[in-house]
Structure 1
Amino acid sequence: MTYFAKLTTTASYLPERVVTNEELAQVMPTSDEWIVAHTGIKTRHYAQNDENTSDLATEVGRKLLQKSNLSADQVDLLIVTTITPDALTPATASVVQGKLQAINAIAFDVSAACAGFVFGLSIADKMMRSGQYRHAMVISAEVNSKMMDFTDRTSTVFFGDGAGGALLSRTNSSDEEFLIAEKLATDGSQAQTIHSGRINPITEIASTNYPTADAFYQDGRAVFEFATTAVPKQIEQLLAEAKIKLADIRMVVCHQANLRIIETICAKLKMPFDKFPHTVEKYGNMSSAGIPVTLDRLVTSANRQPILLSGFGAGLNYGSMLIRM
């Protein structure tokens, strides 16, 4: 028997704490005018106190269960995409599985940075086609604020925290299949363009040795050039191979890096900007969570017109995917 995956529902969650540009300007040399001009971002949400990445992901998981009328023990696959995990081990997905009491789900993390949600959906789709899994959660969750250098205005002002995800269910009908086509890629030659959490090896055996991780870093200009050059080309190649015209696309949900990148990708594709939903002004760059949060909050009707997802980030990983809700 042939199996497919259908996308049954989406959900999202944001921490309560809203951080304005003016507040950041009190702790680093920046201003609301500079941030808005360079990024389009006005506010973002921060997780604080005891709220960590697994907590954000768990809230999304609970919403997915409620919206789909499933019990936790019916989920048998749980993928969390994140570059800001609770810890290197155990996987954040394992923690979420425990909090949800999804006792029958295998759970693991995917680290593909801002392309994480697209990569996670692709993995879940292939696993569900095997017929071994009936219901899968793909949740992207990030607490970027805990990895920021608050003396670095060129990176910190971009980022916010949040989580979003989708629930996939197995189907025998190709008419219900969510995935139309996909194209994933990695350019490892630019691996140092964006990095976070690097842990250096020891130089000697000493009682003073203790593991430390570095803060988030990005070469903003290089990222902009990469995203606005490689991503439109990948999207055009994907559409050509799928034999779908840009005019037939309902909307393009890009990684919410910053408004200027989204505007430039839109211009290069020569598409109307109203086909590019965006949440980055209110929520900032949420890394892998940006696409599912935007999809959940701005895609209100479930018609079958194709939606294009495009994520790009550290690795450098980038992926574009045509889906039907």
Structure 2
Amino acid sequence: MTVYTKITATGQYVPERVVTNDELATLMDTNDEWIQAHTGIVTRHYAMDQENTSMLATQVAQQLLTKSGLRATDIDLIIVTTITPDALTPATACLVQANIGADNAFAFDMSAACAGFTFGLATADKFVRSGQYQNVMVISAEVNSKMMDFQDRTAAVFFGDGAGGALLQATTDPAENNIIAEKLQTKGDAQVIHSGRVQPLKTVAATNYPQTDAFYQSGRDVFQFATTVVPEQMRTLLQTAGIAPAELQYVICHQANLRIIEKIAANLDLPMTAFPHNVERFGNTSSAGVAMALASVFDDLTGSALLTAFGGGLAYGSILIKK
């Protein structure tokens, strides 16, 4: 018997603390006018005090349970995509499992940078279609603020914290199948975007202590990649699926920068009204951006939507869903 995947619930969460462009301008050489002109970002939210990545993800997990009517013990698998985990180990997904009491689930993290949600969704889809797992959570959660160098205005002004996710469930009804096609790719490059690099020892000494580097990106290279290579992937996937861009109800892009989304819209010859976006209010929330944007329109989705994300790796992925 063929098993299909249906998406039955979505959710999103941002911390309470709002940080404006003017506040960041007191920390670095920038201003509200420049930030809005170059990125479209007005505000972003920061997790403070004890509210780490696992807590943001837990908020989304609770929403998914409430919306679906499932118990935590019904969950078979929890995948958390993040590049800002609570720790290298244990996995943030394990902490979410414990927080919600999903005693029957196994859990692991995925790292695909800002492409995390598309990679996580594609991975979860395979687990569901295997027939062994009925209920799978995919949650993308990031506390980017803790990885920022607040003297680096080329990165710090872009990013905010947030989480989003979806619940995938098995079905044997082909009419309920929501995930239609996918294309995931990587273009290995360790320099354009990197974060949290840990250097090996130079000597054995009592003063050794692990340290990580702050987030870095080459903005110009990212913009060029996102507005040329990524739209090509989107077109290829749509052509393979036999769908024209104009037939899409929504195109949900990584919320990196409003100017990038505008460029992609122009490339596909589609109006910005087809592109749900939250980057103005929340900034670049890395892997969580697509998940959060999907959650904002999921209840209104009655046709096809293309989810596309790109980030460090360089990793980029597109998934076509239909409701």
Find the aligned partners of 1:258 and 1:100 in 2 and give their Cα distance.
Answer: 33
Deviation at 1:302, TM superposition (A): 3.8
Give distance in 1, aligned partners of 2:168 and 2:33.
42
Distance 1:270 1:147 in 2: 36
The amino acid that maps onto 1:11 is G
Aligned to 1:320: 318
Residue by residue over 1:32-76, the C-alpha shift from the partner in whole angstroms, topping out at 9 and shown as x without a partner, is: 001001100000000000000000000000010000000000000
Aligned-residue offset at 1:86: 0.2
Question: Is residue 261 from structure 1 mapped to residue 243 from structure 2 by the alignment?
Answer: no
1:168-201: CA deviation from partner (whole Å, max 9, x where unpaired): 111001111111111110000x221000000000
Once the two structures are superposed, the pairs formed by residues 70-109 of structure 1 within 5 Å of their partners are 70-109=70-109
Task: Give the superposed CA RMSD.
Answer: 0.7
Rounded Cα–Cα distance in structure 1 between residues aligned with 2:177 and 2:277: 26
What one-letter code is carried by the residue in structure 2 that aligns with 1:21? N
**Who is 1:186 aligned against?**
186
Q: Give the corresponding residue for 1:5.
A: 5
Q: Deviations over 1:191-213 (max 9, x none)?
A: 21000000000011100100000
What's 1:249 paired with?
248
The 1-side partners of 2:298 and 2:158 are apart by 24
Q: Which residue in the other structure is 2:65 paired with?
A: 65
| 1:30 aligned residue | 30
Structure 1 residue runs without a partner (length 5+): none
Separation (CA, whole Å) in 2 of partners of 1:278 and 1:88? 31
* Contact 2:75-2:102 within 8 A present in 1 as well: yes
The TM-score with structure 2 as length reference comes to 0.99
Residue 10 of structure 2 contacts residue 298 of structure 2 at CA under 8 Å; is this kept in 1? no
Question: Residues 299, 132 of structure 1: CA spacing in aligned structure 2 closer, same or farther, 3 A cutoff?
Answer: closer
Q: In structure 2, give the amino acid aligned to 1:114.
A: C
| 1:230 Cα deviation from its structure 2 partner | 0.6
Take 2:66 and 2:299, find their aligned partners in 1: how far apart are those partners? Answer: 17
CA distance in 2, matches of 1:298, 1:159: 22
Note the C-alpha offset of 1:299. 3.7
Match of 2:120?
A: 120
Tell which deviates more after alignment, 62-71 or 268-277. 268-277
Q: 2-side partners of 1:229 and 1:143: how far apart?
A: 28
1:40-59 aligned at under 5 Å gives the runs: 40-59=40-59
Q: What is the aligned partner in structure 1 of residue 292 from structure 2?
A: 293
Report the secondary structure of 2:73's partner residue. helix
Aligned position for 2:233 = 234
Find the residue that maps to 1:133 and give its secondary structure: coil
| 1:238-259 CA-partner distances (Å, limit 9, x unpaired) | 0111111111111100000000
> What residue number does 2:308 align with?
310
* Paired amino acid for 1:156: A
Q: Distance in 2 between matches of 1:225 and 1:34?
A: 20
What is the CA deviation profile of residues 264-294 of structure 1, one whole-angstrom value per residue up to 9, with x for unaligned ones?
A: 1111111111111110000000000000111
User: How many residues are treated as equivalent by the alignment?
Assistant: 323
